[in-house]
Structure 1
Amino acid sequence: MEIHRSGDRFATDAERRRTRHSFSFGSHYDPDNLRFGLLVCHNDDLVLPGGGYPDHPHSNLEIVTWVLSGALRHTDSKGHTGVVEPGRVQVMSAGSGVVHSETVDATSGPTRFIQTWVLPDEPGGETTYSSAAAEPAGQWLPVVSGSHPDAATRISANRATLYAALLAAGERVEVPETPLAHLFVTTGSAVFEGSALGEGDAVRLRAEGGTITAAAPTELLLWTFAG
């Protein structure tokens, strides 16, 4: 079990946005922190109205966006558009290549979102876009998966599943024992197997699970990667 504290993340500041990176990213190169299983990016963004990311390219990635507050607008070169807000999850399979933008309208409030990039089973392929309702409660909700039959939407990574849980103070959930799991506290605070976790803290697990108990109202995201 490895605990990675929020304050130890790399940070990128740009006009109208701040991004905190859990893994090596851009100019923040760390050869010892390039990925965790299929997970190659875990960014925590705060974007102010009128800001965001103008057109930029991607390929061979499953890009999953989870909005905590505000609203994020997506457009891409394949003609897909959408606005994702809390209570929905957005997935873009970049396939063989796509150019997209992610922006916050001038009339929207500050927007915080978690974006994760997962490697697909096969490179290339079609670019797809989807969003779906996903409103977690006191147990794990399968949000995105390559194989889970109840997931809100799909990705092209058969061994990967993203779960979300929203806990009241004192509620607890079990983190399953899987080959690899990445647990992240989006908001609130909790205790995992005796270790206190706060907002932005993460736990990387290898073939071990445990119990996490909310110390306050807390939202959690959990990526699991099967062998």
Structure 2
Amino acid sequence: MDDASRTGALSGLHTAPRTDISQHQGQFRIHFNFPGRVLPGHDDHGYGPLATVVESFMDPGTLIRMHQHRNEEIISWVPAGVMRHDDRHGNDLVTDPEHLMVMGAGSGFWHAEETLADDPPLRMLQIFVRPHTLDLEPNIQHEPIPDPVAGEWRHLFGPEGTDAPLYVRNDVELHDCRLDAGTSTRLPSRPGWHTYLYVFDGAVEVDGEPVGYTESALVTDARDHSVTATEDATIVAFTINPDAPITRQGTIGR
């Protein structure tokens, strides 16, 4: 995607098409969205502490057997359906539209994922954040999240100490929003930080630039940017400190 950006650096807005980087493992399929590749000439597939945003599909009756992650924060965002988790710490958790899960792998965390035969097909995002320090204490958070309100951003996770319901151990925040066709909102921003937008469903325009289904945009300036839905849309936005200290030894999100 090196030549995928459709807008120039002077605008502070870059957009990119659907990723072509995928892995197919039968009932489990993943598409890797690398935010750093939205910016032409950027020498890192990630963007600061945000390593990758993975669109994941699990058919009913799929088991991903127990495996280990190290040195990454893995966030499971499930807008519909269920993702079933168990781990060697005795947790048996269900992540669904009412809950968010953050797994801080730290020095090592073993877990498995599953859908049952009578579960619906699952399409979700698994977000990989680079922690600020290697070999942190492993932890897991599984918390209820506020009900979505059309046209309003939900603050879902942020660095420790924010008012988000869950935290990650670096300078990244996640918001999501449902927009009805024809309605608009402002892209989340924070002074000195940049914003990465991913369209999970539907289509939008950012300052008039089209960003369609599973496409993305990166904003690198301090201006306000409007987002208008051209179809009913579900979007996620990450505000990122591009200068945050990062580690690069995650199992997936290097």
Q: Same fold (TM over 0.5)?
A: yes
Contact 1:173–1:212 (8 Å) recurs in 2: yes
Indicate the residue corresponding to 1:75 in structure 2.
86
**Amino acid across the alignment from 2:194:** L
For structure 1, the 5+ residue unaligned runs are: 25-30
Q: 1:112 to 1:140 in 2, by over 3 A?
A: same
Aligned partner of residue 79 in structure 2, secondary structure? strand
In 1, Cα distance between equivalents of 2:58 and 2:180: 27
Structure 2 counterpart of 1:185, one-letter code: V
Could you say which residue in structure 1 is the equivalent of 2:55?
44
Give the structure 1 partner of residue 251 of structure 2. Answer: none
Q: Deviations over 1:40-69 (max 9, x none)?
A: 121101110111422221111111111122
Partner of 1:155: 168
Contact residue 76 and residue 100 of structure 2 kept, 8 A: yes
Cα deviation digits, residues 162-211 of structure 1 (max 9, x gap): 11111122221111444321101111111111111222111122234410
Which range moves more in the overlay, 96-105 or 32-41?
32-41
Matching of residue 185 in structure 1 with residue 199 in structure 2: yes
Following the alignment from structure 1 to structure 2, what is the Cα–Cα distance between the partners of residues 42 and 73?
20
Aligned residue pair count: 219
Partner of 2:179: 167
Q: Which has the higher contact order (CA 8 A, sep 6+)?
A: 2
Q: Distance in 2 between matches of 1:11 and 1:172?
A: 32
Letter in 1 for 2:178: L
Which structure 2 residues correspond to residues 26-45 of structure 1 after superposition, within 5 A?
A: 34-45=45-56
Letter aligned with residue 221 of structure 1: V
The share of aligned pairs that are identical, in percent, is 25
Query: d(CA) in 2 for partners of 1:221 and 1:58?
Result: 24
Q: Which residue of 1 aligns with 2:17?
A: 5
CA contact (8 A) 1:184 1:203 kept: yes
1:100-139 equivalence runs, <5 A: 100-134=111-145, 135-137=147-149, 138-139=151-152
TM-score of the two chains, using structure 1 as the length reference: 0.89
2:86 corresponds to which letter in structure 1?
Answer: T
| The one of 199, 208, 221 aligned to 1:194 | 208
CA RMSD of aligned residues (A): 1.9
User: Could you tell me how far apart the structure 1 residues matched to 2:135 and 2:113 are?
Assistant: 22
Match status 1:15 vs 2:26: yes
Conserved 8 A contact 1:90-1:130: yes
Between Structure 1 and Structure 2, which shows a larger proportion of strand residues? 1
| Cα deviation code 1:37-96 (max 9, x no counterpart) | 111121101110111422221111111111122210111122222111123211111111
TM value normalised by structure 2: 0.80
Runs of 5+ unmatched residues, structure 2: 1-12, 36-41, 244-254
Name the counterpart of 1:27.
none
Task: Please state whether the residue corresponding to 1:68 is helix, strand or coil.
Answer: coil
- Equivalence for 1:213: 228
Q: Secondary structure at the match of 1:161?
A: strand
